[in-house]
Chain A
Amino acid sequence: MNRPHAEPALDYITAQYGVRSWLLTRDHKRIALLYLASVTAMFVLGGLFAVLIRLELLTPAGDLMQAETYNKVFTMHGIMMVFFFLIPGIPAVLGNFLVPLMVGAKDLAFPRLNLLSWYLYTIAGAFTLYAIVVGGVDTGWTFYTPYSTSWSTSNVIPVAFGIFIAGFSSILTGLNFIVTIHTMRAPGLTWFRLPLFIWAQYATSIIIMLGTPVLAITIVMLGLERGLHIGIFDPALGGDPVLFQHFFWFYSHPAVYIMILPAMGVMSELISTFSRKPVFGYPFVACSSLAIALLGFFVWGHHMFTSSQSVYAGLVFSILSFLVAIPSAVKVFNWTATLYKGSIRFDTPMLYAFGFIGLFTIGGLTGLFLACTGLDIHVHDTYFIVAHFHYIMVGGTIMAYLGGLHFWWPKITGKLYPEGWGRLSALIVFAGFNLTFFPQFVVGYLGMPRRYHAYPPEFQVLNVMSSAGASILGVGYLIPLVYFIWSMRYGRDAAANPWGATGLEWQTTSPPPTENFETVPVVTTHAYDYHAQAARERAAAAGGAGGGGGAA
């Protein structure tokens, strides 16, 4: 479907050249690419730390590195992955690129703030990297007090400051999305005609706006206690160490939803497109994102069942945690039902989506184990938890992120990635992932605590399995990294709508022009009307009219 243009139209990539044109751009699509580069760099770095962890855990004795080094390595792995990859990942890369396109707008509401958000992210990342170079930090990504404020001798303040700045970057992105979705939707694009990806970004933005300031305040208090010995958390200074956990998880549990909700949004787009059917129960899937966003603020205490909080508090947090599981479960049922009587294709993005369903189901169900107060006592702070949240974060978020990246790659770059390699990588990632993290459930229930540099020998076989799986997973991640870069130069040109998808982003050229649409699209159908899409395709084929431009 590669239509020759009358004159070579300028797209957002070829519109301007030079480093300046990128570093001072206000185009949301270019900023998305800047984010893609920096987020990928952080992912690679976080991955390298993971490699070191898995190498150390090959043997029971702590023989590869010093305990202190190991503690810094797992801390930096967590910080890089959580604050610099998982939280910004889907919103700042895919969201930035797609939110204006999907709502039929020229750009985000505040393009300059959008660029500022990337600069803040970069400064935050640079600051954190500086802290690693000068010695690193060993508190764990959770910064529990009083260890982080009164005992650790590592670079707590520089790293915490980096995370503090990164938070503002998130806030600006969230603000931009909320305003854009409210005010810049194309004519006819009512709320219940929005793609579910937009609903997910909207719910995520609400969490970012409400939660991130709490993290910022907590970091300031941490700094005050560590730097000026003002007693807030350390009992030796008259503070309360458990108070920190309340503050920290008040942000960091909702942050889990900042990571997974956008992934669920990607999933809805993938499942619908590759089965050519509207998402089953659209209103429920849309509203469940909001339900998760709001309920997610009231479950933080389930991280603290053993912390000495009262039994009653534990029970309340337990029941609320069970409740928040329901909207997530229903989403999985709805995706499954979407496949029923569909017209299903097995392209790479769909393979990632299938992987997501399997892994997220296991991740979600093992979450029920942890909401069970009496059982959580045993598995809390063991590898069972590590396995559980990797099933959600890696099996869920990263699978969806990669699926989404493959799906929108033709739109983003105007090039096709090699499909065969894509499918292979999806299978390798799925297999490697399970081999890495499934044994961790077992070793966790056996009682191996997390953050252990050395461990009793009877846990070795399971740890070796895990390390072997991690090496397969690493290969699975390297393959797309290579062919994505390769495809930017050598890939075949992509058509405007290679998947036959319905979103507005597919009705403009690949890659889109700087202003996104030649004419403002007008929307007359709901988000996933494949009959209307087929009619458009037939009309285009019959009339031979231009591929870009407005909607039905």
Chain B
Amino acid sequence: MWSDLPLWPDQASTSAAQVDALYLFLIGLTIFLTALICGLVTFFAVRYRRRGPGDPVPEAIEGNTRLEILWTVIPFCIVMGLFVWSAALYVHLSRPPDGAMQVNVVGKRWMWKLQHLNGRREINELHVPAGSAVELTLTSEDVIHSFYVPAFRVKADVVPGRYTSMWFRATRPGTYHLFCAEYCGTKHSGMGGSVIVMEPAAFQAWLGGDTGESLVEAGTRLFGELGCATCHVDAAADSPSRGPKLAGLWGSEVTLHGGGTVTADEAYVRESILDPTAKITEGYPGVMPTFRGLMNEEQMLQLIAYVKSRGVAESAPPARKEAAQ
């Protein structure tokens, strides 16, 4: 009978147990305080019920400062404790561990398109290995969606024009619900699928099974097809180039024309491709045309993977400046 009436969701990630612990504590607190309040109300209501119209007017009790301070301070302490506990959990959920396996996710009304680093694509399904941290980079092609896996207790809004991320470490092989949690129009409730947690060896076999180009390969190809290489030339340090070099760009602090710096991350690279004049690298002319409309979000992620593959910053920004002069 209980199989028809589930009361507890599957626990299939390392954070699930942590979230559930806080949830259980709160349930305990709720039961305790609700019982206390309802018990007192019931007791007073019965004990001090009016027995007849002749009952005297009860003595007025205006208040009791000590009691009121007490029942302000105690809840204050309780909620501050809850704040600290939940904030620690929140920060933990927001910070993916280093070396997490990367998967790109693009939401589109009403489907999920996913791509692994080696190029393996999935639609409305996500295969992950048990025991490894997985980090998703998410964006949307149209409206806001939200990627939600209840069994992992994780959720992240998928916002057009932005990259959001989430991570989890699955613990138990199995198939779990994937939902879109942010209302996105007609078939919102159909925009779901499953997350399939596999034993690591089985996952490796699955992952290697049907790959095309890897993300970096696809990005490299796009880089050529779109003519990016015409300007973003990685020639010798003393030869001029019209666009900033990409080698060592990722993660560096880019000095901007007109002052200020920006960290070269997903959002920066995306903006530079779609809206090149928004942030012009110091020392370069603002001549790059926009590539808006020439690629979809998945291709954008492939290009970003390519830029990333050109290596994390080692040479200091001044070197690029000199090259431009």
Contact = CB atoms under 8 A, between A and B. Distances in A.
Contact of B57 (A376, A462, A534): A534
Given A319-B83, A344-B44, A307 B159 contact: yes
B44 A336 contact: yes
Given A346-B49, A375-B89, A308 B156 contact: yes
Interface stretch (B181-189, B233-241, B281-289, B312-320): B181-189
B157 A449 contact: no
Contacts of B59: 341
B49 A147 contact: no
Interface string B43-56: 01100111000011
Interface string A361-402: 110011011011111111011100000000000000000000
B63 A372 contact: no
Given A344-B44, A449-B180, A452-B188, A375 B58 contact: no
B5 A461 contact: yes
Interface stretch (B97-105, B145-153, B201-209): B145-153
Interface stretch (B70-78, B122-130, B212-220, B299-307): B70-78
A213 to B, nearest CB: 26
Contacts of A371: 79, 82-83, 86
A144 B89 contact: no
Interface in A119-161: 138-140, 142, 144, 146-147, 150-152
B155 A380 contact: yes
Contacts of B184: 147
Interface in A263-283: 275-278, 280-283
Contacts of B93: 374, 377
Give the interface residue-count category, chain A: 35 or more
Interface residues of B, number: 86
B154 interface: yes
Interface stretch (B31-39, B224-232, B244-252, B257-265): B31-39
Interface stretch (A6-14, A96-104, A202-210, A234-242): A234-242
Contact of A366 (B30, B76, B190): B30
B160 interface: yes
| Residue of A276, A280, A362, A375 ringed by the most chain B CB atoms within 10 A | A375
Interface stretch (A439-447, A469-477, A510-518): A439-447
A451 interface: yes
Nearest to A283: B63
A364 B275 CA distance: 46
Contacts of A175: none
A151 B186 CA distance: 11
Interface in B1-34: 4-9, 18-19, 22-23, 26, 29-30, 33-34
A71 B188 contact: yes
| Residue of A62, A144, A377 ringed by the most chain B CB atoms within 10 A | A377
A314 B90 contact: yes
B171 to A, nearest CB: 16
Contact of B58 (A139, A283, A322, A341): A341
Contacts of B18: 374
Nearest to A451: B183
Given A374-B92, A452-B189, A325 B7 contact: no
B294 interface: no
Contact of A240 (B61, B76, B85, B161): B161
Interface string B153-173: 111110111101000000000
B41 interface: yes
Given A322-B79, A362-B34, A530-B60, A447 B160 contact: no
B143 interface: yes
Contacts of A138: 185-186
A342 B58 contact: yes
Given A140-B183, A445-B23, A339 B44 contact: yes
A18 interface: no
B295 interface: no
Contact of B188 (A369, A451, A528): A451
B62 A282 contact: yes
B68 A330 contact: yes
Interface in A302-344: 305-308, 311, 314-315, 318-319, 322-323, 325-326, 329-330, 332-334, 336-337, 339-344
A420 interface: no
B44 A340 contact: yes
Given A322-B82, A329-B75, A147 B90 contact: no
Contacts of A493: none
Contacts of A530: 57-58, 60
B60 A529 contact: yes
A534 B91 CA distance: 59
Contact of B90 (A358, A373, A451, A455): A373
A229 interface: no
Given A333-B71, A336-B44, A339-B44, A277 B58 contact: yes
A419 interface: no
B62 to A, nearest CB: 6
B134 to A, nearest CB: 16
B272 to A, nearest CB: 15
A343 B58 contact: yes
A403 B190 CA distance: 41
Contact of B155 (A151, A280, A306, A342): A306
Nearest to A377: B155
A456 interface: yes
| Residue of B79, B93, B177 ringed by the most chain A CB atoms within 10 A | B79
B83 A318 contact: yes
A31 B30 CA distance: 41
Nearest to B152: A378
Contacts of B9: 445-447
18 contacts: A147-B143, A241-B161, A277-B58, A280-B62, A305-B90, A308-B156, A311-B91, A325-B75, A334-B63, A339-B41, A341-B58, A346-B45, A354-B45, A358-B41, A368-B26, A371-B79, A374-B22, A382-B181
Given A67-B189, A284-B68, A366-B30, 11 more contacts: A275-B58, A305-B90, A343-B56, A354-B45, A362-B30, A365-B30, A365-B33, A372-B89, A452-B189, A454-B190, A530-B58
